[in-house]
Each structure stands twice: as C-alpha cells, then as structure tokens.
Structure 1
Amino acid sequence: MTGETSREESAASVLRSIWQVDESAATDVDELCGNSGICRNMKDVSFEDMVGQGTDLRTAWREQLARDGKLDTSAGTIGDLVAGRR
C-alpha cells in the first residue's frame, strides 16, 4: 500500500507543479520553439463522429471509456488531485 500511496503523491506533485507554472515559462517555450503552426496531417481530425444523437463529446468519451473497461470514477477529478483533496 505504501508504494501505491507514494506513486499517487508523486503524480499529484507533478500535476500541482504543472498547474502552478507561471506565464513567463509559457513565453519561454514559445520563444524557443517559434511559431510551429498547425500540423497539416491533423488539421481535419476530430472526435465529433463518436458523439451520438442527443449527447455531447464529454459524455461520448465517458461512454467509450466505460465500454473499454477504462473508466475509474473512484479516483475523483484532476482538480481534486491537484488541490490535494484526495
């Protein structure tokens, strides 16, 4: 159990550091990478085809994850994890 807890704490620490990054870091990345533009191979890629009648994209993703056995609602939200509420 201790190994699992330390991995969860490590993951939470990484997510908190990402969420707390300042705006100057984003500017530095832009300066280093320059204007990358759009990827021409991905410009027309969308997930709208997986959305059924009367549902939205978020619900469609959740349904797909549930069908694939990959939906774990016991973990809470990313916001909970970042805020340390878990």
Structure 2
Amino acid sequence: MSSSYGVEELWYLAYGMRRLALAESARDTQGLQQLTDELVISHRHIDSIDYQLYAHDLQLKRGSDVRVVPLPPGGSARMR
C-alpha cells in the first residue's frame, strides 16, 4: 500500500465516503419515520383512553353508578 494517493484514487475514496454517508442518512431518516409513526399510534391510544375515562366520569357524575348515603353525625367524607 502506498503512502500517497493519486487524484483518481482520492476521488473514488471521497465518492465512496459520500455514498456511505447518504446511505446512513437514509437509514436514520427511515428510523426516525418509524419512531414518528409509533408516536402517532401511541397518541391515538392515549386519546382513546382519555375519551373512555371522560365518558366514565360523565356516567359517574350522572349518578348511575354512585349511591348517596347520609354521613353519620360528626362524620366526614373520608374513606376508611
């Protein structure tokens, strides 16, 4: 192996390095797109759970699942 490179060899070396950098960049871009897609799906799941909790909260506020009982004299609303 020689200690110096000719112009053509340097051009091919630089070209190869550029192609490698572009390939890695494309792979990184694809990975970022996959993460973005997964994040969108996660947000949809969270929104669905939030909606279910909201609907359940409305049902509780309507009193369909809540029974009101009088407190004993001097009692508080704390659960034991």
**TM-score when scaled to structure 2?**
0.32
| Structure with more contact order per residue of length (Cα contacts < 8 Å, sep ≥ 6) | 1
Give the TM-score, by structure 1 length. Answer: 0.30
Which is richer in helix?
2
